[in-house]
Chains A and B, each alone.
Chain A
Amino acid sequence: MSGATPVPPVEPSPPRRTGRLLGGLLLVVLGGAWLLESLDVVEVPWDALLPGVLIAVGVILVVNARTGASQGGLIALGVVLAVLAFLTAAIEFPFGGGVGERTEAPTTLAQADEGFELGIGQLTVDLSELAGAGNGRTVVRARVGVGQLVVLVPAGMPVRVEGKAGLGNVRVFELEEGGIDIDLTTEPPDGAAPVLDLRLSVGIGEVRVERG
C-alpha cells in the first residue's frame, strides 16, 4: 500500500448535476411509458405528455441558465422532445405502432375493425381475402407515421376512401394528390353503396390504394 494522499473526487457543479439528474429521469420516464404502450399495458396520452415534459425541460434550463453551467445535454433532450411533440401534434405519430415492414391480411371483419398502425416503415393491408364484407359497410382504419401505407382491395368491390397525408402524397387507384396536408376522398363510381370504407393516413410519406 502506498502512502500517497488520495485525490478527492471531482464533484460536478450542483446545477449541472441537477440538470443531468432531471434529464436522465425524464428519459427513463418517457422510455418506460413508451415500453408500456408498446406492450399494450397502457395507452399513453403522448399529445399532452410530451409538451408537459418539454415545458419542464424549458423551466429547468431557464432556472439553471443563471449559473452559467453547460446545459448541452438538456438542450439536446429538449430538441428531441420538441421534434417528437411536433410529430405528435402535426401528424399524429403512432408511437406504439413499431418500426419496419409489415403486412396485415385480415380475413374477418373483427380483425379488420381493430385497425392497423405503424410508426415508421411500410405497412401493407391486404383486404382481398376479407370475408363477410358484402353485408353493409365495413370501416377499416390504418395509419403510418413516416413511410408508406399500401391497401389492397378486392377487384370490383365498391370502395370509399378517405386518404390523408401530412406531407407526401395520396394515390387512390388513378387519382393522386401530393403536397402538404393532403386530404383526398373518393366515392364509389355510379353512386354505388360502398362496401369498404377506408380511413387511411400517413404523417410523412405515401398512401396508396390498389385493386388486389
Chain B
Amino acid sequence: MGESTNRAALVAGVFFIAAGAVFLLESLEVLELELRVLAPFLLIALGVAVLLGGRSRRPSG
C-alpha cells in the first residue's frame, strides 16, 4: 500500500498529549510538580521523543 505513517508526528503527538495531561493535572492541583523533577523529566522525554521519532515516514506495514 502507498500509505505511510509519519512516525515523528505520531511520537510528537503522543508526547504532547502526555505532557499536556501532566501540566493540566498540575494546574488542577491533582499533581504537584517541582522544577528539580520536572526539568530532567522533560529533558529525558525530549530525548526519547528524538530517538523514537528519528526515522519518520516509516511504512505502516
Contacts and interface: CB of A to CB of B under 8 A. Distances in A.
Contact of A74 (B9, B20, B21, B39): B9
Given A51-B21, A62-B17, A181-B35, A68 B27 contact: no
Contact of B16 (A61, A66, A167): A61
| B10, B16, B22, B60: residue with the most chain A Cβ atoms closer than 10 Å | B16
Contact of A68 (B3, B34, B38, B39): B3
Given A74-B9, A91-B35, A180-B35, A86 B23 contact: yes
A22 to B, nearest CB: 13
B21 A62 contact: no
A192 to B, nearest CB: 33
B11 to A, nearest CB: 9
A48 B16 contact: no
Interface stretch (A52-60, A115-123, A142-150): A52-60
A85 B10 contact: no
Nearest to B13: A61
A100 B24 CA distance: 30
Interface residues of A, number: 39
Interface stretch (A75-83, A101-109, A129-137, A169-177): A75-83
A25 interface: no
B55 interface: no
Interface residues of B, number: 33
A47 B13 contact: no
A66 B5 contact: yes
Interface in B16-48: 16-24, 26-28, 33-36, 38-39, 42
| B7, B27, B34: residue with the most chain A Cβ atoms closer than 10 Å | B27
B36 A180 contact: yes
A27 interface: no
Given A57-B16, A82-B16, A82-B19, A48 B24 contact: yes
A166 B34 CA distance: 9
Nearest to A60: B13
A36 interface: no
Nearest to B15: A58
B57 A68 contact: yes
Interface of B: 3-10, 12-24, 26-28, 33-36, 38-39, 42, 57, 60
Interface of A: 45, 47-48, 50-55, 57-71, 74-75, 78, 81-82, 85-86, 88-91, 166-167, 180-181
Q: What 8 pairs across the A-B complex have the smallest Cβ distances?
A: A61-B13, A58-B16, A54-B20, A58-B17, A55-B20, A62-B13, A51-B23, A47-B27
